[in-house]
Amino acid sequence: MTGGTGGLGDMDELYEAIILDHYRSPRNTAAVEEPDIDLEVNNPFCGDEFHIQLKVEDDAVSQVGITGRGCAISQASASLLAELVKGKSASEVESAVDAVRRLLKGEEITDAEADILGDIEALGGVRKFPVRIKCALLSWVGLGDALRDHLAK
């Protein structure tokens, strides 16, 4: 830790609690049968590896399963992603992926996007640790690309 929280101490604690909760109890880790989207993502710089499976029915994500291992940030991020995408339409997922990318780059997100992201805003705390940004974005970028490929078929 570099010290000097700039008055954001309480917020950081909240963020940390959300990350730790998802790290310790990841959501949606069951395998999906006959997935429409099935991809592996990895971040060799950190050793994060995840297997992401989605079932897409009537243009909405009906099932999601994410398994794998990695650092706390990458695992919490994957769990938050799993929780968010369930029941969302493809375009909603794409907007969320885009918002998360901008959040982690330190760019503005709209109030509407913040509402959609909810707890995922906790990932924004990772910006202070640039080496962890790849960990936080890993599953999001992978899913965003896979979803675009799937829709293009």
- Shortest gap between Cβ of 42 and Zn ion (angstroms)? 10
Distances (CA, A) of 133 to 31, 34, 35, 128: 26, 31, 28, 9
x-or-dash string of contact with Zn ion, 118-137, rule CB under 5 A: -----------------x--
Question: Which single residue is written with the structure tokens 């901008």?
Answer: 102
x-or-dash string of contact with Zn ion, 31-70, rule CB under 5 A: ---------------x-x---------------------x
Query: Residue 77, interface with Zn ion (CB under 5 A)?
Result: no
- Shortest gap between Cβ of 98 and Zn ion (angstroms)? 22
Rg of the chain's alpha carbons, rounded to an integer? 15
- Residue from 11, 14, 60, 71 in contact with Zn ion (CB under 5 A): 71
Judged by CB under 5 A, how many residues of this single chain contact Zn ion? 6
- 46 or 114: whose CB is closer to Zn ion? 46
For binding to Zn ion (CB under 5 A), which residues are involved?
46, 48, 70-71, 74, 135
